[in-house]
Amino acid sequence: MSAPLILVLNGPNLNLLGTREPEIYGTDTLEDVRLVAARAAEQLGCTLDFRQSNHEGVLIDWIHEARGTAAGIIINAGAYTHTSIALLDALKAVDLPVIEVHLSNIFHREPFRHTSYPGRAAVGVIAGFGGQSYVLAVAALANLLRASQV
């Protein structure tokens, strides 16, 4: 049996990690985050498909594609977290387990960041642990996938 595939989607401006507001997001790059998440997935018997786009429609297309290929989705929608009903609808439409992830604790930030549309389709939300948020999300999703096979 092949390892379950976890699709990890990253939204706008996450390509600038490491240089964009390091006091909030830290100095790890998105590639650094990908490497630690992939290592965690491998240890848990999963594989990752790790992607980033600044374009909402591209993220939606990737969610739709996941329907036939991925066992679950981890999403950091960036600023689309607070605005995108379209991402919410796409996540609900594919009927896959979803975990929302954030580097910073969005609830300790500006009030507009307290709203999450993708979170309404998520089994859970992990926020505030920097790059380790992704590792925690991978572990949580891997456990969910294992439990659903029992």
Q: What is the pLDDT of residue 2?
A: 82
Where the chain has pLDDT below 50, the residues are none
Q: Classify domain 5-149 by CATH architecture.
A: 3-Layer(aba) Sandwich (3.40)
Binding site membership: which residues? 76, 82, 89, 103-104, 113
Q: Is 55 a catalytic residue?
A: no
Burial class (CB in 10 A: 0-12, 13-18, 19+), 55: exposed
Q: What is the pLDDT of residue 20?
A: 84
Give me the residue spans of the domains in the chain.
Answer: 5-149
Q: What is the pTM of this model?
A: 0.93
Q: What is the pLDDT of residue 148?
A: 85
| Catalytic, out of 55, 80, 102, 117 | 102
Q: Is 134 a catalytic residue?
A: no
